[in-house]
Amino acid sequence: MLTLEEIVENGLCIGCGLCRGIAGGDQISLVMTPEGRERPVAKQPLQEAVLERINAVCPGTRIPGAASANGSQPPIFDTVWGSAHHLAIGYAGDPATRYRSSTGGILTALGQFLLQSNRVKFVLHVSASKTQPMRSERRLSFDVASVLEGAGSRYGPAAPLVDFNDILDRQEPFALIAKPCDIGAVRNLARLDPRVDQYMRYALTLVCGGASDLSKSEDVLDRFGVTEDELSLFRYRGNGNPGLTRIETKDGRAFELTYQEMWEEEAKWMIQPRCKICPDAIGESADLAASDVWPGGGPTGDDAGFNGIIVRTERGRELFEAACAAGAITVDRQVGFADFDVFQPHQVRKKRAVWGRLKGMEAAGKPIPAVHDLRLAECARQNTVKQNLAEARGARVRAKSGRLGEPPAVPRQA
């Protein structure tokens, strides 16, 4: 069993906030660290039972595969991409939602449809902070306008599960739209708390490229000579696909970057350590996952907005079909797993690399997450022995040097 500090300092924490949601704000606080990461800090020594529960649900210590079967077996399977009921390319039926959202608006449209059809009482997701626009905060949306207000990717730290126990205490049906690691954390909790399956009716996710440190966004501000307290808007994507990163200040200045300009230097992506060993960036534990559909893995220009859609579970299939029938989403065409290999080649490379990376960390004497039902060894067999050795050796070196870990979590100076 790892302490909270060991989870953080070994680079296993992603800042989902579930540990605080379990222990409560009187025992754990979330701080923004100097590195630009939201991390938990124990206010007092945690009781062993609380720490055991955190270890059982933390997506840095336990990473689950597909959600429990709730219907017929998914009919299609791929070693890298896992199981699915359906694969398609589509977009939000409402043109305004499609335009406003970061890609084709599928997750936003589904969140709106769930509320309109009374399948859920509210949607738990993240959106830009109203007081600190560069930062993200968890939001409960009870109407379609609020869901749309939260549309758009948030490339930075976010803790959607920070008060998840309180959300379950509401005893109301809801949907969760969050990163795959957040979904995995909640699936872990469902093994211990029956309220999760009782009240969380749908779990929707994105195919994730990783969560950046807040420092990535601060670098963008530095480029334009803007400070965070001057901001009135920080939008990463949207208003087109992928749309522009747009910054607005309280005194009326505005600055923009293309997606390519924002992400042109991979060395400056500032992806959090946990993301580099993520075995489920493709959302296998969700009911439905949505992705970008850029051949080769990156956009060549703006388009009207399209999502890849991976329907993971029977519950996701029912939602997908109902949303299509209601016009909430529009299917452009059916696709196969080979198409996703083309749209998301980096996800294929990463899935094949994770087994070696975890073996390298283990060889360095570092703790690694317990991974279940994600076929990592089978994916690694698609590599050459040389490729797997390179991944393992590289991870071992980085782990020994501390580059796969983090400093102790302390709040940054104001």
CATH 3.30.420 fits 76-213+268-346, yes or no: no
Where do the domains of the chain lie?
Answer: 76-213+268-346
CA distance 114 to 143: 10
DSSP 292: -
- b/e 157-171 (16+ beta carbons within 10 angstroms → b): bbbbbbbbbebbeee
Give the predicted TM-score (pTM) of the model: 0.96
R_g over Cα of the chain: 20
Residue type for 56, please? A
Token duo for residue 372: 């279940």
DSSP 297: G
DSSP 311: E
- Under 8 Å between Cβ of 57 and 1: no
CA distance 129 to 214: 13
- Under 8 Å between Cβ of 186 and 205: no
The helix (run of H) or strand (run of E) holding residue 127 is strand 122-128
Half-sphere exposure of 381 (CA within 13 A, CB side): 5
Write the secondary structure of 189-254 as one string of H (helix), E (strand) and C (coil): HHCCCCHHHHHEEEEEEECCCCCECHHHHHHHHHHHCCCHHHEEEEECCECCECECEEEEECCCCE
183 CB-near residues (< 8 Å, 6+ apart): 176, 203, 205, 283, 285, 286
Q: What is the pLDDT along the chain (414 residues), one digit of tens a residue?
A: 999 999 999 999 999 999 999 999 999 999 999 999 999 999 999 999 999 999 999 999 999 999 765 456 778 999 999 999 999 999 999 999 999 999 999 999 999 999 999 999 999 999 999 999 999 999 999 999 999 999 999 999 999 999 999 999 999 999 999 999 999 999 999 999 999 999 999 999 999 999 999 999 999 999 999 999 999 999 999 999 999 999 999 999 999 999 999 998 888 899 999 999 999 999 999 999 999 999 999 998 899 999 999 999 999 999 999 999 999 999 999 999 999 999 999 999 999 999 999 999 999 999 999 999 999 999 999 999 999 999 999 999 999 999 999 999 999 987
